[in-house]
């Protein structure tokens, strides 16, 4: 039977609580499951890994590949509504599920976010209304395109159109020769060459958009990346210029509206040294830079994901505490010589406002996201002081 919305908390199907399904079993799925369960929903996770972070805490896991037709049929049979936590889930899988069930975000929006060429074209369209454009870029699909690239895109960053994350699938190039070599090294796949811009800072915005077009917006996050991976997110009054935050929020709303988006969407921005704002990329799901909202806001990005999926109201979220999030990469589990070390959790947890989230991953590896620590405080000074103490204890470079 097709699901009718809203799918209210506490509603029963064949005598059981309504089930929300999620494609992907990583940490984002795990936190979605936590938020869904808080409202009394049951959950089902589709992920091939028998020890996936979300599968470990879900009522049920279907252990199969994201595109497996029989697994998708099973998911559709046992979940009343379905979302994704994994950006590279095959868009056709979402389209198939949407025949029978509410699915958010929609396959069309995910397909655009999965492909930098389509994504940038969408940003260019939205920039007509918002005035916030992407970095100058060129699409490279063939050897012939390499010689056509305008000279002012160099030095630049070559990014594969698909499957890039945490700086993977990217190469900095400063000449045509380097560009050609990098494109061939990337397997001669479709790429985007972006002009290398002088960044002053980076930020991101998370919005949730309902089926009725209503939009709820979280505060703008300031992000620090190290080695292409998000390291620190800071969110408190004064951490970003106000003129910038309102423009970034407006541009994000525009991007979501132009996609007729339903669900949680994160858009990343660069602020350049001359104060201008550039849109970088989007993620059709909750985002690492929004994890602070679990501990510092009265409605987190995962609560918003549940609400948009189930068709529930979207009141404006309120940040009640200044917050700094530190990503906990597997590197912290090793000392300088590469030997396993004990992380000083007792000292970290003794700091006021420390909220530790570990994702249940059994093996620490360099660069692997094992968890995050959100520090909350009454003021920017307080939270910065505690976050810097936590960073020092953990061996994370000061920021």
Binding status of residue 280 toward ligand ATP by CB under 6 A: yes
Taking the complex as a whole, the smallest distance from the CB of residue 81 to ligand ATP amounts, in Å, to: 26
Binding status of residue 166 toward ligand ATP by CB under 6 A: yes
Binding status of residue 157 toward ligand ATP by CB under 6 A: yes
Which parts of 318-357 interact with ligand ATP (CB under 6 A)? Answer: none
Partner in contact with 157, chosen from Mg ion, ligand ATP, none, beta carbon below 5 to 8 Å by kind = ligand ATP
CB 355 within 8 A of CB 376: yes
Which residues touch 29 (CB under 8 Å, ≥6 apart)? Answer: 22, 45, 47, 52, 53, 54, 85, 86
The residue ranges that bind Mg ion (CB under 5 A) are 268
Taking the complex as a whole, the smallest distance from the CB of residue 221 to Mg ion amounts, in Å, to: 12
Q: 34 or 287, CB closer to ligand ATP?
A: 287
Q: 268 or 303, CB closer to Mg ion?
A: 268
Binding status of residue 194 toward ligand ATP by CB under 6 A: yes
158-166, 232-240, 305-313, 355-363 -> range binding ligand ATP (CB under 6 A): 158-166
Q: 115 or 268, CB closer to Mg ion?
A: 268
CB 236 within 8 A of CB 322: yes
Taking the complex as a whole, the smallest distance from the CB of residue 158 to Mg ion amounts, in Å, to: 15
- Judged by CB under 6 A, the residue of 98, 127, 133, 196 near ligand ATP is 196
Which parts of 111-150 interact with ligand ATP (CB under 6 A)? Answer: 135
Tokens of 210: 């309902």
Partner in contact with 225, chosen from ligand ATP, Mg ion, none, beta carbon below 5 to 8 Å by kind = ligand ATP
Which residues touch 226 (CB under 8 Å, ≥6 apart)? Answer: 397
Binding status of residue 158 toward ligand ATP by CB under 6 A: no
Q: For the residues of 356-383, what is the DSSP string, one character each? A: EEE---SS--TT-EEEEEEEEESSHHHH
Binding status of residue 252 toward ligand ATP by CB under 6 A: no
Residues that bind ligand ATP (rule: CB under 6 A) add up to a total of 19
Binding status of residue 226 toward ligand ATP by CB under 6 A: no
What length is written for the chain? 399
CB 120 within 8 A of CB 140: no
Nearest to 293 by CA among 41, 109, 32: 32
**Pairwise CA distance, residues 382 & 375, whole Å:** 10
Which parts of 68-97 interact with ligand ATP (CB under 6 A)? Answer: none
Taking the complex as a whole, the smallest distance from the CB of residue 49 to Mg ion amounts, in Å, to: 24
CA separation, residue 272 to residues 111, 198, 200 (Å): 29, 6, 5
Binding status of residue 371 toward ligand ATP by CB under 6 A: no
**Pairwise CA distance, residues 205 & 241, whole Å:** 14
Taking the complex as a whole, the smallest distance from the CB of residue 138 to ligand ATP amounts, in Å, to: 12
Tokens of 196: 């290398």
H or E element in which residue 42 lies: strand 42-46
| DSSP-H helix ranges across the chain | 27-38, 69-78, 91-98, 107-113, 116-130, 143-148, 176-185, 242-258, 293-296, 301-310, 345-349, 380-394
In the complex, the residues that contact ligand ATP under the rule CB under 6 A are: 135, 157, 159, 164-168, 170, 194, 196-197, 199, 202, 225, 228, 268, 280-281
């Amino acid at each position: 039977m097709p699901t009718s919305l809203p799918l209210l908390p506490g509603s029963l199907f064949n005598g059981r609580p309504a089930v929300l399904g999620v494609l992907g079993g990583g940490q984002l799925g795990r936190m979605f499951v936590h938020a869904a369960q808080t409202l009394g929903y049951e959950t089902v996770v589709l992920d091939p890994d028998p020890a996936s972070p979300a599968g470990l805490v879900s009522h049920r896991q279907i252990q199969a590949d994201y595109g497996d037709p029989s697994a998708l049929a099973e998911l559709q049979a046992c979940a009343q509504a379905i979302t994704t936590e994994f950006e590279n889930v095959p868009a056709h899988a979402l389209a198939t599920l949407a025949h029978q069930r509410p699915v958010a975000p929609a396959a069309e929006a995910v397909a655009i976010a999965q492909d930098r060429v389509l994504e940038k074209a969408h940003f260019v369209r939205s920039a007509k209304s918002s005035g916030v454009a992407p970095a100058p870029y060129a699409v490279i699909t063939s050897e012939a395109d390499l010689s056509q690239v305008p000279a002012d895109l160099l030095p630049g960053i070559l990014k594969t159109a698909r499957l890039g994350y945490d700086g993977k699938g990217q190469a900095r190039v400063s000449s045509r020769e380097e560009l050609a070599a990098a494109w061939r090294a990337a397997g001669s796949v479709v790429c985007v060459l972006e002009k290398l811009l002088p960044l002053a800072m980076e930020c991101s915005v998370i919005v949730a958009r309902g089926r009725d077009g209503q939009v709820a917006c979280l505060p703008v996050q300031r992000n620090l990346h190290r080695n292409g991976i998000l390291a620190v997110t800071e969110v408190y009054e004064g951490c970003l210029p106000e003129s910038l935050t309102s423009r970034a929020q407006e541009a994000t709303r525009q991007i979501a509206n132009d996609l007729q988006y339903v669900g949680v969407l994160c858009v990343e921005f660069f602020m350049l040294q001359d104060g201008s704002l550039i849109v970088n990329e989007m993620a059709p799901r909750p985002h690492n830079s929004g994890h602070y909202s679990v501990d510092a806001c009265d409605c987190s990005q995962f609560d918003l994901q549940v609400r948009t999926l189930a068709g529930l109201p979207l009141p404006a979220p309120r940040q009640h505490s200044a917050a700094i999030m530190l990503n906990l990469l597997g590197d912290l589990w090793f000392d300088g010589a590469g030997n396993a070390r004990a992380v000083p959790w007792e000292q970290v947890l003794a700091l006021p406002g420390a909220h530790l989230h570990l994702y249940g991953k059994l093996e620490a590896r360099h660069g692997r996201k094992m968890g995050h620590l959100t520090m909350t405080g009454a003021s920017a000074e307080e939270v910065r002081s505690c976050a810097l103490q936590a960073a020092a204890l953990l061996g994370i470079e000061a920021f």
